[in-house]
Amino acid sequence: MFKHSALFVALFAPLAAHAATDEDLRAIRAQIEQLRSDYEQRIAQLEQRLRQAEAGSMKAGSDTGQAQAATQQASLPAARGEGAFNPAVSLILGGTYGQFRQDPAIPATGFAMAAHIPPERGFNLGESELGISANIDPHFRGTATLALDPAGGVSVENAYIESLGLSNGFNLKFGRFFSGLGYLNEHHAHAWDFVDQPLVYRTLWGNQLGEDGIQVKWLAPTDTFVELGAEIAKGRGFPGTERAKNGAGAGVLFAHAGDDIGADYSWRIGASLHRTRRVDAQSDGVPDLPGTAGGVSNLFNGDSQTAGLDFILKYAPNGNIKDTNLKLQGEYFRRKESGMLTYDIAAANTTDSYAVTQSGWYLQSVYQFMPRWRVGLRYDQLDPGVALAGAANAGNVIGDYGYNPERTSLMLDYSPSEFSRLRMQVAQDKSRQGLPDTQLFLQYVMSLGAHGAHRF
């Protein structure tokens, strides 16, 4: 009882402090001192008992009664009440500094009608990400990732349910998730090896394709990893054009295969196919043949079909990635779009057929040359293709840009621990014709809370 009252006094002492006399303070200090020595004594006793118990169990180890196994299992830390059911929470804190000579908002040449999420200049609080996940019941697991926008908003990046314990290699996922196409698409920004996504992801997928829909995956019962997947979704992420109607707005098929070669190497290859119907897809600031200042706004209606190939090869001596390791990866995507294009909706407003095939690829390698330090090199290239515009727009729409955007990036990062990373990146950017740029990025990525997964 005495201890409790002392604790009470200790807790509320600051409130009453202005009224307390020196004598009161002395009394309180004495009580706190008493409290501290009491607890220190008790902790010492507990430690003593723990040591005895440990020594006892070491000796007891030599008899193998079943009872022993049973008691030891029972002695495991029991559930900590309600708190034990709290989901795993992780918070990613990230920030960048970017320095460019050219305006990063200018899209890659020939890709004004594609997606463009430009990097930002100066100091930026990149995306902080709050992740929460837990098993819901024996059948489902839930994961939510909330992106905290530097400007103050919160957006739902991922919010999906996964099946638990389905058998025969099936896995079901539904809700909002990153599509399983390609290799990089499922990786969250904090797991990227470079500050930014490859140009082909930036332009063809708006950095990465997030969907509202359903994904089914099936893993073949073979020693070699063979996985097939299908998704139907709303068409929320670029190039989909989200709309409220029955049915699905986009579909994805993908296949992955992978294995190890000895203990040193492991690999995965993949192929994917994405289809969507684009409805009233508006692009602004599109350059045209008449040379309209600031470009024009176009509207596209039609089919979009994208095929992709990806591979990754990893090397680590004896498979021990902690010390040194090397990754080599590359992806290629090719998008075919055909339909009707309305040119300059604000003025000319002429509609005619339009078809174009655009593609892009990247190849990158990241080498951890000593624990904590990695260096990476990436080369990106895009091909805007040659567009075929119907007669009505032949004099308006630029068909052939005659320029392939490209970029080379060099990255160095340092990870003081598994949970923190500091990165520097320099890019020689020739993605905009006539506007070559040298770009410098500094970045930090820190993760708090639940231990992140080491995905392949």
Partner 1 sequence: MKKFLGLFLLLLSGNASALNLFACEPEWGALAQELAGDKASIYIATNALQDPHHVEARPSLIARARRADLVACTGAELEVAWLPVVLRESGNGNITPGKPGYFEAARYVTMLEVPARLDRAEGDVHAAGNPHVQTSAHNYLPIAQALSARLSELDPGNAEFYRTRLNVFVQKWQTAIARWEKQAAPLKGQPILVQHTAFPYLGAWLGLKEIAALEPKPGMEPSVAHLSKVLGQVQQQPVKMVIRAAYQPSRPSEWIAERAHIPAVALPFSVGGTDGAKDLFGLFDDTIARLLAGLDGK
Tokens of 87: 């989901």
Q: Nearest approach, Cβ of 194 to partner 1 (angstroms)?
A: 19
Q: Which residues bind partner 1 (CB under 8 A)?
A: 53-54, 57-58, 61-62, 64, 66, 68-69, 72-73, 75-77, 138, 141, 162, 164-171, 217-227, 256-260, 262-263, 266-268, 314, 318-323, 371-372, 416-419, 448, 451-456
Cα torsion 246, 247, 250, 253 to 10°: value is 170
Q: Nearest approach, Cβ of 106 to partner 1 (angstroms)?
A: 38
**Interior CA angle at 385 toward 379 and 390, to 5°?**
160
172 or 345: CB nearest partner 1: 172
49-52 long-range contacts (CB < 8 A, ≥24 apart) are: none
Q: Nearest approach, Cβ of 41 to partner 1 (angstroms)?
A: 16
**φ/ψ of residue 331, rounded to 5:** -145, 150
162 or 196: CB nearest partner 1: 162
What is the distance of C-alpha 204 from the center of its chain? 17
Q: Nearest approach, Cβ of 160 to partner 1 (angstroms)?
A: 13
Q: Nearest approach, Cβ of 231 to partner 1 (angstroms)?
A: 16
The DSSP string of 268-284 is EEEEEEEEEEEEEEEEE
Rounded to the nearest 10 degrees, what angle do helices 22-60 and 2-16 cross at? Answer: 130
194 or 267: CB nearest partner 1: 267
Tokens of 7: 């604790």
80 or 245: CB nearest partner 1: 80
Q: Nearest approach, Cβ of 158 to partner 1 (angstroms)?
A: 15
53 or 156: CB nearest partner 1: 53
Q: Nearest approach, Cβ of 204 to partner 1 (angstroms)?
A: 25
Cα–Cα distances (Å) from 350 to 277, 286, 293, in that order, read 21, 15, 18
C-alpha–C-alpha distance, residues 86 and 90, integer Å: 12
164 or 426: CB nearest partner 1: 164
82 or 223: CB nearest partner 1: 223
C-alpha–C-alpha distance, residues 269 and 261, integer Å: 14
278 contacts 241 by C-beta, under 8 angstroms: yes
Q: Nearest approach, Cβ of 268 to partner 1 (angstroms)?
A: 5
What is the distance of C-alpha 368 from the center of its chain? 21
118 or 319: CB nearest partner 1: 319
Please, is 424 exposed, middle or buried when counting C-beta atoms within 10 Å of its C-beta (0-12, 13-18, 19+)? middle
110 contacts 405 by C-beta, under 8 angstroms: yes
